[in-house]
Structure 1
Amino acid sequence: MIAFQVDDMTCGHCASTITKAVKTADANAQVAIDLASHRVTIEPSQADAQALREAIAEAGYTPVPIG
């Protein structure tokens, strides 16, 4: 399980964009978004944390690893 704090994710469109970015890096990843806490939790199937962080950053967001 990989988690990121993404404080600049503020709406459903942001969540959709981040989900698509993660799926581009890892098509079979399971993505859970909590807009209220600005948290993205990913259960990857193949991509590592760095690749997922970069995918979210390339989509225009600022992911900060949690924990």
Structure 2
Amino acid sequence: MHLAPSSTMHDVTCPLCANSTVALLLTKVNFSATLDGEDFVEETQPLAAFICPKSHIFFLRERDIATEGSPQFAA
């Protein structure tokens, strides 16, 4: 698994343990859902995946991530 440092993502904290040391996973998920055959969300939502030191994995909408520029991905 490749992790990118989150130095520009100073406002991201783990919603499970409130740890502010998180890393951006090198993946993006396009989320959509239906409920009883109807769209649960109006449009597909691009989500970024994060992990904290306690191995909690969580997702945030890309547009809600407070950054100082674009995330820097590490290979």
The structure that has the greater radius of gyration is 2
Say yes or no: TM over 0.5: no
* Structure with more helix by fraction: 1
TM-score (norm 2): 0.31
TM-score (norm 1): 0.32
* Structure with more strand by fraction: 2
